[in-house]
């Protein structure tokens, strides 16, 4: 079958079931109730501290076929996933589903567990590195489910991703299960992506290397949700958790694109008091913030809030009065941690609050502008952030499709040529974010406006921006680099790309090795 | 005369930069075979630049190639580059009119039939070059501008290079005056700290106020600042419009001299005003008439 953007989907996907075809960004009308979490109790004298992960496995008990969930706030410094799975393997447990919000190179050990049958299913929003490559090459018999950040929260809350045990990497905990992300050697800032897991999993295990005196303050995840607290020697490597400082790019082409994106925002009439904004932590995205900030300074504009993954640059904008609030689902650096710890206007929010489509008000809906990247974009403005030019998985939506759907204006910034490859193609290999939610593409050689936004087109033309048809930009790139040979894949589905509402926007097929 | 507010250096051995050199809006790009390229990479860079000239669209940017001096790889550069139709060659370390003559002869030999003649810009970056600036500027034919290279020049003098640039005041003035006397353009030395925007602005302004018509740039990030200095401001455009209006009115009344806000408007002032309006129109800035 084909979904509404023309992507071919199997009628039944082995190991996934019957896909609900994507039918439009705002078409889904949920007719269901939320999953009711298990009701639990505890005797007043019971202890939650457990000495080892093995002991927790035995007390719960964790058995074959369960779903274990994890958050990714420790990024490439995570030590918890590997320790938990080593324990599972040592205990001879098989057929686990790992629901880890993002997979990083540090999780390479997963591959061995996949090969030995300890892990047979993976549910995630983003993956890069060796695991992504192994999945692309077909290491798992069942396809990986790739969700958006908002979609994962929705799936947990609505019962499509039931979790048996949530292992919550906690930078700081007390012995009765209060957790936060801002203290201890593995401090990571916001714990936003772990909130739905803590609330809905049957069993919740905090894994920490820093136990503070009861009661912990501040509290991000409260004691009433946490069953066990395990102290390990090391929960994560700070060098992989936070970067020192995130810097704006010095690449002149990236800066040119960023400056142009800032002009687009201004031309669209959005840069005024009360402005709200989301951008990534990458060099070019951050450079957009830099150029926006210059204009806000010149015009004495005070924004409302900045959203998403928070960097020191955004913290500086908060502290200098360019934004009144930061809404933080994930912090990227030491400055973000310092700020969320001390500044009441720096808010820690859950993945649900941030981006779930199935509630009555997620934060992305309040965005004026989001600036996003792309590995490919096609002439219908559909964006791929899942697979690279070789067909191998190298990312995932994360919040991409969520923020694109919510914001008034969604801007994709991309080099027209990446290496020797044109970024604009006739049809993206993997659709991640539908074109109907993308408004403008900004490249170093011109700006293309989605034809569904004629008013925006008029505004950008009136501002004298170099607006071109997306087909013309594509031709310009192909004139320089030629048309790349079309990639061929096998028919076997290795990943199902779910849109934020749970419908299937595309599938990833196995690459030829 | 060509607009050369900015001339952006692009390393001749960097394919990514060669490919993207046209996107930054510089009036000229200088594909560099000299200082940016190590001796053992000269031949590879020469091939790359030759390919770039034939395949990359530099848009409205003038295509300049900085060749090596004739006593190193210059002759080989000319032989391969000139048939690829650059607009201009930037000739380094020019120290006398004979340097331009030798390059001119080699360029003429290398040009293909029907090719648009390749122009030359002389880079003066030694004490001797500065001392003979006027003689060099008078080279007839292909020479279209003099450019100052202050880093090598001050190193040769043993002067301390400062951001304020008092040590190059004389050299700047000599280059500007020599070029003006010969009726060609003068172009200012680059500002080498790409991270100091305020310093770049001040240095560009200093050069412009002395009389330079443009400035070499070592980083695309410098372009907007330099253009900001060389572009006429709305107030200046308005003044130029008033001058032209006043002189037209005076002419219609049979006088060659007009008065504007109590000041005399004569031919040199009118010429300056007309240049400003021409520049403004060329840049698409708002001009009333």
Domain ranges (residues) in chain A: 49-241, 252-488
- Please name the fold of domain A49-241: Glutaconate Coenzyme A-transferase (3.40.1080)
| Residues B217 and B254 reside in one and the same domain | no
Record: contact A253-B219, CB cut-off 8 A = no
Q: Please report the residues numbered 374 through 433 in chain A whose beta carbons come closer than 8 angstroms to any beta carbon of chain B.
A: 417
- The answer to whether residue B29 is domain-embedded is yes
B288 within some domain: no
Q: What is the pLDDT of residue A346?
A: 98
A49-241 and A252-488, same CATH topology: yes
Angle at A390 between CA A103 and CA A119, to 5 degrees: 30
> Shortest Cα distance from A336 to chain B (angstroms)?
25
Here the tokens at position A321 are 């009065």
- Give the pLDDT score at B256: 76
CA B281 to chain centroid: 20
User: Residue A254: its pLDDT value, please?
Assistant: 93
Please tell me the distance from the alpha carbon of residue B245 to that of residue A501, in angstroms, as a whole number. Answer: 66
Do B213 and B240 fall into the same domain?
Answer: no
Q: How far is A418 from chain B (nearest CA, A)?
A: 9
Distance (Å, whole) CA A134 – CA A126: 14
**Does the pLDDT of residue B288 top 70, yes or no?**
no
CATH architecture of A252-488: 3-Layer(aba) Sandwich (3.40)
Query: CA of A74 to nearest chain B CA: how many angstroms apart?
Result: 33
**Same domain assignment for residues B174 and B268:** no
Q: What is the pLDDT of residue A486?
A: 86
Q: Which phi and psi (to 5°) does residue B88 adopt? A: -145, 145
Residue B152 predicted with pLDDT over 60: yes
The reply to whether ipTM tops 0.95 is no
- Do B114 and B251 have their domain in common? no
Residue B61 inside a domain? The answer is: yes
Answer whether residue B240 is part of any domain. yes
Strands (E), A118-241: 119-124, 144-146, 165-169, 172-173, 179-180, 203-208, 228-231
Q: Which of B94-103, B173-182, B241-250 has the lowest mean pLDDT?
A: B241-250
Closest CA to A382 of A476, A505, A206, A199: A505
Based on the fold, state whether residues B243 and B176 are members of the same structural domain.
no
- DSSP E strand boundaries for chain B: 6-11, 28-32, 62-66, 88-91, 119-124, 143-148, 185-188, 214-217, 258-260, 263-265
Examine the pLDDT at B1 and tell me if it is beyond 60.
no
Task: Reduce the DSSP state of residue A181 to 3 states and report it.
Answer: coil
Question: What residues form DSSP beta bridges with A2?
Answer: A8
A480 near B CB under 8 A: yes
Distance (Å) of CA B272 to CA A79, B144, B287: 70, 20, 15
Task: Tell me: pLDDT of B268 over 90.
Answer: no
B287, part of any domain? no
For residues B273 and B155, membership in a common domain is answered with no
Closest-CA residue of chain A to B219: A252
Chain B nearest-CA residue for A480:
B56
The per-residue pLDDT for A245 is 60
Our CA angle for A173, A178, A182, nearest 5°, is 55
> In the Cβ-directed half-sphere of A444, how many Cα atoms lie within 13 Å?
26
DSSP A56-101: HHHHTT--TT-EEEE--TTGGGB-HHHHHHHHHHHTT---EEEEES
CA A11 to chain centre: 28
- Binary contact (B55, A480; C-beta < 8 A): yes
Band (pLDDT 50/70/90 cuts) for residue B275 is confident
Give pLDDT tens digits for B54-80: 999 998 899 999 999 999 999 999 999
Coil vs helix vs strand at A132:
helix
Do residues B173 and B37 both lie within one domain?
yes
- The answer, yes or no, to whether the previous bond of A318 is cis (omega within 30 of 0) is no
Same domain (yes/no): B263, B200 = no
CATH number at residue B10: 3.20.20.60
Contact B147, B168 (CB under 8 A): no
> Is A252 in Cβ contact with B221 (below 8 Å)?
yes
Looking at the fold, whether B209 and B263 belong to one and the same domain comes out as no
Statement to judge: residues B73 and B209 lie in one domain: yes
| Same domain assignment for residues B200 and B250 | no
Does residue B261 lie in a domain region?
A: yes
Chain A interface test: which of B16, B59, B193, B218 (most A C-beta within 10 Å): B16
Number of domains in chain B: 2
| Domain final position from B206, B230, B254 | B230
Mean pLDDT per 10-residue section of chain A, whose length is 513 residues: 97 96 96 94 97 98 98 97 98 98 97 98 97 96 98 98 98 98 97 98 98 98 98 94 75 93 97 95 86 96 95 95 97 94 98 98 98 96 96 96 98 91 96 98 97 97 96 94 89 97 98 76
**Rounded mean pLDDT, B21-47:** 95
Are B212 and B240 within 8 A, CB to CB?
A: no
Please check whether residue B1 lies inside any domain of the structure.
no
Q: Is residue B289 part of a domain?
A: no
**In angstroms, what separates the C-alpha of A445 from chain B's closest C-alpha?**
6
Domain assignment of residue B211, given as a range: 6-230
- Euclidean distance between CA atoms B284 and B25, whole angstroms: 14
Residue B225 and residue B238 share a domain = no
pLDDT at A459: 97
């Amino acid at each position: 079958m084909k979904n509404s953007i023309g992507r071919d989907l199997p009628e039944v996907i082995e190991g996934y079931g019957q896909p609900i075809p994507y039918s439009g960004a705002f078409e889904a009308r949920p007719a269901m109730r939320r999953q009711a979490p298990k009701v639990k109790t505890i005797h007043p004298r019971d202890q939650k501290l457990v000495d080892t992960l093995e002991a927790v496995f035995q007390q719960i008990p964790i058995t074959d076929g369960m779903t274990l969930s994890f958050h990714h706030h420790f990024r490439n410094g995570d030590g918890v996933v590997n320790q938990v799975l080593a324990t599972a393997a040592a205990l001879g447990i098989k057929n686990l589903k790992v629901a880890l919000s993002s997979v990083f190179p540090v999780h390479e050990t997963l591959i061995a567990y996949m090969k030995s049958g300890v892990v047979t299913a993976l549910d995630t929003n983003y993956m890069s590195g060796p695991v992504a490559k192994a999945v692309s090459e077909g290491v798992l018999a069942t396809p990986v489910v790739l969700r958006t950040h908002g979609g994962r929260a929705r799936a947990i809350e609505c019962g499509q991703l039931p979790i048996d045990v949530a292992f919550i990497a906690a930078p700081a905990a007390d012995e009765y299960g209060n957790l936060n992300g801002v203290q201890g050697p593995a401090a990571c800032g916001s714990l936003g992506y772990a909130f739905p897991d803590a609330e809905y999993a049957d069993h919740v295990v905090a894994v920490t290397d820093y136990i503070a005196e009861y009661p912990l303050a501040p509290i991000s995840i409260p004691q009433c949700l946490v069953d066990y607290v395990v102290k390990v020697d090391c929960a994560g490597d700070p060098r992989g958790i936070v970067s020192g400082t995130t810097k704006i790019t010095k690449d002149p082409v990236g800066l040119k694109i960023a400056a142009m994106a800032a002009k687009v925002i201004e031309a669209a009439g959005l840069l005024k008091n009360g402005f709200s904004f989301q951008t990534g932590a990458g060099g070019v995205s951050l450079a957009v913030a830099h150029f926006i900030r210059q204009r806000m300074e010149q015009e004495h504009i005070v924004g409302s809030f900045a959203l998403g993954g928070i960097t020191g640059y955004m913290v500086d904008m908060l502290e200098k009065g360019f934004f009144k609030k930061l809404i933080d689902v994930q912090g990227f650096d030491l400055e973000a941690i310092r700020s969320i710890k001390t500044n009441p206007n720096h808010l820690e929010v859950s993945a649900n609050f941030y981006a779930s489509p199935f509630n009555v008000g997620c934060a992305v809906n309040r965005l004026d502008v989001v600036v996003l990247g792309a590995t490919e974009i096609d002439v219908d403005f559909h964006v791929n952030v899942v697979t690279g030019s070789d067909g191998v998985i190298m990312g995932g939506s994360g919040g991409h499709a969520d923020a694109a759907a919510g914001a008034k204006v969604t801007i994709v910034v991309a080099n027209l040529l990446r290496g020797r490859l044109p970024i604009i193609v006739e049809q993206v290999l993997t659709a991640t974010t539908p074109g109907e939610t993308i408004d403008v593409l900004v490249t170093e050689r011109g700006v293309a406006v989605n034809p569904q936004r004629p008013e925006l087109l008029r505004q950008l033309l009136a501002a004298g921006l170099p607006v071109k048809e997306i087909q013309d930009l594509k031709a310009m790139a192909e004139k320089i680099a030629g048309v790349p040979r079309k990639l061929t894949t096998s028919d076997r589905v290795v990943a199902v790309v779910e849109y934020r509402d749970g419908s299937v926007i595309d599938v990833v097929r196995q690459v030829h090795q | 005369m060509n607009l050369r507010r900015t001339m952006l250096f692009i390393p001749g051995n960097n394919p990514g930069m060669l490919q993207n050199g046209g996107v930054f809006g510089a009036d000229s790009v200088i594909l560099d075979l000299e200082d940016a390229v190590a001796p053992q990479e000269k031949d590879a860079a020469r091939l790359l630049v030759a390919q770039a000239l034939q395949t990359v669209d530099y848009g409205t940017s003038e295509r300049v190639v900085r060749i090596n001096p004739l006593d190193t790889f210059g002759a080989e550069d000319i032989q391969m580059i000139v048939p690829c139709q650059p607009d201009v060659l930037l000739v380094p370390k020019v120290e006398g009119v004979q340097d331009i003559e030798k390059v001119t002869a080699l360029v003429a030999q290398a040009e293909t039939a029907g090719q648009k003649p390749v122009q030359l810009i002389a880079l003066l970056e030694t004490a001797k070059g500065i001392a003979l600036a006027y003689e060099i500027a008078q080279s007839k034919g292909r020479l279209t501008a003099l450019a100052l290279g202050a880093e090598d020049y001050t190193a040769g003098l043993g002067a301390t290079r400062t951001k304020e640039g008092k040590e190059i005041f004389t050299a700047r003035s000599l280059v500007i005056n020599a070029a003006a006397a010969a009726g060609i353009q003068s172009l200012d030395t680059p500002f080498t700290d790409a991270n100091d925007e305020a310093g770049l602005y001040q240095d560009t302004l200093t050069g412009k106020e002395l009389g330079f018509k443009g400035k070499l740039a070592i980083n695309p990030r410098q372009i907007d600042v330099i253009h900001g200095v060389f572009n006429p401001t709305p107030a200046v455009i308005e003044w130029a419009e008033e001058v032209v209006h006043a002189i037209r009115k005076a002419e219609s009344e049979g006088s060659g001299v007009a008065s504007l806000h109590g000041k005399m408007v004569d031919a040199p002032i009118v010429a300056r005003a007309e240049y400003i309006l021409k520049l403004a129109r060329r840049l698409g800035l708002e001009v009333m008439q």
